[in-house]
């Protein structure tokens, strides 16, 4: 696909981890930055579109389950799961299954399109969709094996967000189980069925420039190591990103030790060669030795602070992972804002360590907001399998225009706008969001909201 070449000018833009002044930005016919010039003389700006606010790179949402947007705010009462002895991840999961078992392809498309529009408005320009709704609602093979996957692809195309689709291997309900429970049958896949689905979707969506795909392994408890190796071998050969939920829950850690004699990340490291294609989602209960091994492997950890807090998972050892590659995801979508995710990540560290500016100290820099933003940007490219996360020649031209008239930013000196964006509320707005140099559409929002409302009524009324 050929894009329109464009020139933009911004008085202030986030370039190479710092604010730069008088920045001229050129978008090539491939939708990537062809040139970025700082301290540009006034005579060189005459033919550029002037952007009315500071520029930031677009962010990757590195972990999404789009269908779970339909249950945001609906699991916040004690005893939502009938018969549950306590409220924790496992009781929440029963409520989640009630949506997963019923949602139709058209409903999934409506939910995802509304969600993806929200993510765009919040400054995410690519979303990694960890997708395991493979079968029909009753668990039988779908008449069209691609129908749920293509619903997500259409949703992303409708709103203009980039999509990394991650079809997910899901074979058993636990380490000692031979298969899935009845309420998990919709998720069932094998290495063969998963790889057929992956390659079929890649073939059908090959013409879509902001689409790509990878693979996901639901968890160590959900697949045996031989199956994991088979899927990963295919992904490694094709250069695709690999994602896995791991060490999210203490019970998962205990079960893994009981089954293998090793902790989850330790067990994974003993059986596969981690590298920069790998993205370990959560890793909340990783040991210091495991975190060091992940850091040395070049793999990335995807932290999902709002979901981890909402589910009572625990707090990721951010300081213990200093200098490691990481990204953020909104996972269950109880919030759809990357600034909230970064704020919660920092505040969780402050609460557990009783110190301030933990991210700044961990990254050895002055600003916690800058350390958090740069960390999230650095891991996004690995998670998405795309050149994203910087205003730099060769990167996709995804960027956000910050509204400095937002209440949280009024009167804030330019050098500290990022600090206020992350740590002051109410949420500051973005006046424009661009993907591959193109402004995303706003006039679709009312129709997307109506479609989402009809879906919510069908699911819950």
Same domain, residue pair 219 and 294: yes
- Cα distance between residue 430 and residue 359, in whole Å: 24
Q: Kindly report whether the global pTM for this prediction surpasses the value 0.85.
A: yes
Among residues 339, 368, 384, the one where a domain terminates is 384
Burial class (CB in 10 A: 0-12, 13-18, 19+), 426: exposed
Task: Examine the domain organization and report whether 334 and 313 are in the same domain.
Answer: yes
**pLDDT score of 2:** 84
- Under the banding of pLDDT at 50, 70 and 90, the label for residue 85 is low
* Domain end residue (candidates: 384, 399, 430): 384
DSSP secondary-structure letter at 44? G
- What DSSP character marks residue 102? T
Q: Are 366 and 343 in contact (CB under 8 A)?
A: no
Is 17 buried (19+), middle (13-18) or exposed (0-12) by CB count in 10 A? middle
Cβ atoms within 10 Å of 163's Cβ, excluding its own: 26
Judge if 329 and 427 occupy the same domain: no
451 is a domain residue: no
458 part of a folded domain: no
pLDDT digits (tens, 9 = 90+) for 405-458: 999 999 999 999 999 999 999 999 999 999 999 999 778 889 999 999 999 999
pLDDT digits (tens, 9 = 90+) for 377-407: 999 999 999 999 999 999 999 999 999 999 9
Both tokens of residue 189?
């896949």
Q: Under DSSP, is residue 88 helix (H, G, I), strand (E, B) or coil?
A: coil
CATH number at residue 88: 3.20.20.140
Please indicate, yes or no, if residue 1 is contained in any of the structural domains.
no
Q: What is the pLDDT, as a whole number, of residue 79?
A: 65
| Residue burial 80-93, b: 16+ Cβ < 10 Å; e: rest | bbeeeeebbbebbb
The domain that contains 398 carries what CATH number?
2.30.40.10
Q: Which of 152-161, 254-263, 443-452 has the lowest mean pLDDT?
A: 443-452
- How far is the C-alpha of 152 from the C-alpha of 158, rounded, in Å? 10
Domain membership of residue 460 (yes or no) is no
Domain tally, the chain: 2
Asked if residue 459 is part of any domain, the answer here is: no
On whether both 342 and 433 belong to a single domain, the answer is: no
pLDDT, the chain, mean:
95
How many percent of the chain have pLDDT more than 90?
91
Residues 430 and 415 in one domain: yes
| Co-location of 369 and 307 in the same domain | yes
Domain that holds residue 363: 59-384
Q: How many whole angstroms separate alpha carbon 220 and alpha carbon 155?
A: 30
Distance, CA of 129 to CA of 284 (rounded, Å): 20
Do both 267 and 353 map to the same domain? yes
> 82 pLDDT exceeds 60?
no
Instruction: State the maximum Cα–Cα separation within the chain, in Å, rounded to a whole number.
Output: 71
pLDDT digit string (tens) for 270-300? Answer: 999 999 999 999 999 999 999 999 999 999 9
Residue at token pair 């997708």: 131
Q: What is the pLDDT of residues 300-357, one digit of tens each?
A: 999 999 999 999 999 999 999 999 999 999 999 999 999 999 999 999 999 999 999 9
Whether residues 93 and 137 fall in one domain: yes
In a domain, 215, yes or no: yes
Q: Are residues 222 and 233 in the same domain?
A: yes
pLDDT tens per residue, range 136-156: 999 999 999 999 999 999 999
Question: Is the sign of the CA dihedral 76, 80, 81, 85 positive or negative?
Answer: positive
Question: Residue 50 domain-assigned?
Answer: yes
Do 197 and 50 share a structural domain?
no
12 and 135 co-located in one domain: no
- Are residues 84 and 52 part of one domain? no
Residue 344 lies in a domain: yes
For the annotated catalytic residues, the residue numbers are: 282, 331
CA-to-CA dists, residue 402 to 10, 277, 421, 431, angstroms: 11, 32, 9, 6
| Domain finish residue from 349, 366, 384 | 384
């Amino acid at each position: 696909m050929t894009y329109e070449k464009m020139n933009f000018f911004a008085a202030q833009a986030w370039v190479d981890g710092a604010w730069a002044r008088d920045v001229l930005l050129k978008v090539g016919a491939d939708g990537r930055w062809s040139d970025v010039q700082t301290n540009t003389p006034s005579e060189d700006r005459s033919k550029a579109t002037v952007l009315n606010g500071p520029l930031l790179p677009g962010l990757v949402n590195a972990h999404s389950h789009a269908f779970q947007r339909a249950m945001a705010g609906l699991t916040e009462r004690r005893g939502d799961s009938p018969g549950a002895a306590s409220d924790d991840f496992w009781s929440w999961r029963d409520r989640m299954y009630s949506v997963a078992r019923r949602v139709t392809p058209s409903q999934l498309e409506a939910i995802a399109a509304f969600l993806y529009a929200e993510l765009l408005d919040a400054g995410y320009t690519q979303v990694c969709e960890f997708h395991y709704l493979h079968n029909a609602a009753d668990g039988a093979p779908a008449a069209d094996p691609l129908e749920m996957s293509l619903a997500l692809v259409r949703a992303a195309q409708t709103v203009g967000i980039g999509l990394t689709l991650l079809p997910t291997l899901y074979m058993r309900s636990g380490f000692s189980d031979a298969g899935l429970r009845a309420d998990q049958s919709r998720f069932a896949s094998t290495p063969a069925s998963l790889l057929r689905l992956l390659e079929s979707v890649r073939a059908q969506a090959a013409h879509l420039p902001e689409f790509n795909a990878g693979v996901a392994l639901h968890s160590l408890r959900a697949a045996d190591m031989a199956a994991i190796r088979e899927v990963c071998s295919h992904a490694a050969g094709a250069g695709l990103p690999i994602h896995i939920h791991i060490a999210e829950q203490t019970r998962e850690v205990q079960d893994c030790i009981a089954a293998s004699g090793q902790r989850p990340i330790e067990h994974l490291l003993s059986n596969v060669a981690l590298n920069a294609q790998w993205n370990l989602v959560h890793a909340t209960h990783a040991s210091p030795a495991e975190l060091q091994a992940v850091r040395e492997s070049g793999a990335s950890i995807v932290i999902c602070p709002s979901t981890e807090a909402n589910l009572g998972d625990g707090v990721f050892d951010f300081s213990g992972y200093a200098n490691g590659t990481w990204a953020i995801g909104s996972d269950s979508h109880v919030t759809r804002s990357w600034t909230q995710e970064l704020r919660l990540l920092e505040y969780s560290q402050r609460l557990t360590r009783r110190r301030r500016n933990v991210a700044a100290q961990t990254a050895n820099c002055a600003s916690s907001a800058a350390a958090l933003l740069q960390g999230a940007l650095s891991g996004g490219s690995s998670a998405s399998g795309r050149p994203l996360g910087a205003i730099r020649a060769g990167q996709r031209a995804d960027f956000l225009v910050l509204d400095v008239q937002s209440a949280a930013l009024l009167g804030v000196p330019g050098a500290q706008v990022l600090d206020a964006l992350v740590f002051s509320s109410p949420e500051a707005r973005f006046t424009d969001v661009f993907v591959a140099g193109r402004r995303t559409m706003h006039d679709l929002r009312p129709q997307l909201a109506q479609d989402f409302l009809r879906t919510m009524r069908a699911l819950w009324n």
